Amino acid sequence: MTANRPEDVILFSTADWKSRYWTNKQHMAARLAARGHRVLYVETVGLRLPGLNALDAGRILARVKRGVAPIARVQDNVWTLSPLTIPFGHRSPAIAAVNGMQLRTRIKGWMSAIEVKSPMVWTYHPYMLDAVKSIDASRLIYHCADNLAAIPGVDPESFKIAERELLERADITFTTSRYLQSRCEAVAGSRSHYFGNVADVGHFGKARIAGNIPPELAAIPRPRLGYVGALSDFKIDFDLLARIADDQPDWHLVLIGEERAGQSDDGLRKLAKRRNVHLLGWRCYDDLPRYLSGLDVALLPQLINDYTRAMFPMKFFEYLAAGLPVVSTPLDAIRDFGPICSTAPDSRSFVDAIRKQLSDRPPPLRLDDAILVENSWDARLDKMLENINSAHMSGRAKRNNVQS
């Protein structure tokens, strides 16, 4: 790093760069890069154990193909590395060591090629500690954005052991929900800081432009109640949506997204049989504001389970930026925003909450409202970097005191 350039960053993600659904990992990498940080985006090492099925076999083959590909520059200041890892490494110290060694070798090759010195390591999971051994990192940051141990197929015990080691070693930890903050703070203490997920307010604010509705959505009768995102059976309450559709046949439910690959629950298939339920499939990120502009109420029909108790859905602020009223199941993270979001624990109260929003729709938050400004990506990154720099200076002062 030169005196005039921001620190270089090695970012360990739980999502591939080209994933159809951008999460806070890709957004964070892109925004760090826009500020001049050179970022190596290390794609997921594979959190869950692969099954003996054609789907997982295909995934493994695709990962092998990407894993033997060279590190690639995908945009200004962002490079991607797809790890070539041996499955089941999270349970076996020997395999974990091999995986860490090969990943460490490739990272050091990138560092050497573009002259990276003492990068900042920013990780979203704990399965990278072997990979950063012997890398002279300026600091280690853990961004705990999900309760990964609750994802189907992830070995919770090995994850918890690895996460505890990461929390003990990290210079600073960021969490995206009160649940995660409580868990991380128990180990990291004052080094853990709560920062909920945020949104690209400017991008989703484009939904407020009149006359921009896609024809396929405009053809659906109103009122239109919508959900945007991956249609995952461990996140979305498909039974709740079915009861709403049956109770209110003149309301139209619009789901924009794809079914989670490999899920076995048939709730979505049954839901889709109703005439007032419309599955539009995946739509690219750039087009989402146009679809949101044609909705009347935005929904967060999340299941309440070990995973969702710890989540802060990015789409909450995306919906608000689009100018839409929001009705949600009672997620812990959403309770902090009671005045600007309706929550309902069951289908009857959910219907009542939607009806109230339809009959007496509140004015949307202004795009310059403090809630949206403070929960935009730029504002959030400002605060996170401020915390990182403060922790770094504090650590340096402590080291100087010890040495003097």
Tell me, what CATH number does 235's domain have? 3.40.50.2000
139's tokens: 């600091």
Query: Environment class of residue 337 by beta-carbon count within 10 Å: exposed (0-12), middle (13-18) or buried (19+)?
Result: middle
Q: What is the pLDDT of residue 133?
A: 87
Claim to verify: residue 100 and residue 209 sit in the same structural domain: no
Q: What is the pLDDT of residue 335?
A: 84
Q: What is the pLDDT of residue 92?
A: 65
Residues 64-81 have pLDDT tens digits of 455 457 899 999 999 999
Selection from 317, 322, 233 nearest residue 271 by Cα: 233
Claim to verify: residue 75 and residue 207 sit in the same structural domain: no
Asked if residue 238 is part of any domain, the answer here is: yes
Q: What is the pLDDT of residue 53?
A: 43
pLDDT, mean over the chain: 89
Q: What is the pLDDT of residue 261?
A: 72
Claim to verify: residue 20 and residue 159 sit in the same structural domain: yes
Asked if residue 212 is part of any domain, the answer here is: yes
282's tokens: 């995946």
Selection from 127, 24, 18, 22 nearest residue 69 by Cα: 18
Q: What is the pLDDT of residue 402?
A: 34
Q: Structurally, how many domains does the chain consist of?
A: 2
Instruction: Considering only residues 85 and 361, tell me which one the structure prediction assigns the higher pLDDT.
Output: 361
Residues 101-157 have pLDDT tens digits of 889 999 999 999 999 999 999 999 999 998 998 899 999 999 999 999 998 888 899
Residues 267-293 have pLDDT tens digits of 999 999 999 999 999 999 999 999 999
pTM higher than the cut 0.85: yes
Domain that holds residue 186: 9-198
27's tokens: 């957004």
CA dist 37 and 104 (Å) reads 20
Long-range Cβ pairs for the range 212-220 (8 Å, 24+): 212/289, 212/290, 212/293, 213/290, 213/291, 213/293, 213/294, 214/287, 214/290, 214/291, 214/294, 216/280, 217/254, 217/280, 217/291, 217/294, 218/294, 220/252, 220/254, 220/278
Residues 220-268 have pLDDT tens digits of 999 999 999 999 999 999 999 999 999 999 999 999 999 877 666 789 9
**Average pLDDT rounded to a whole number, residues 199-225:** 95
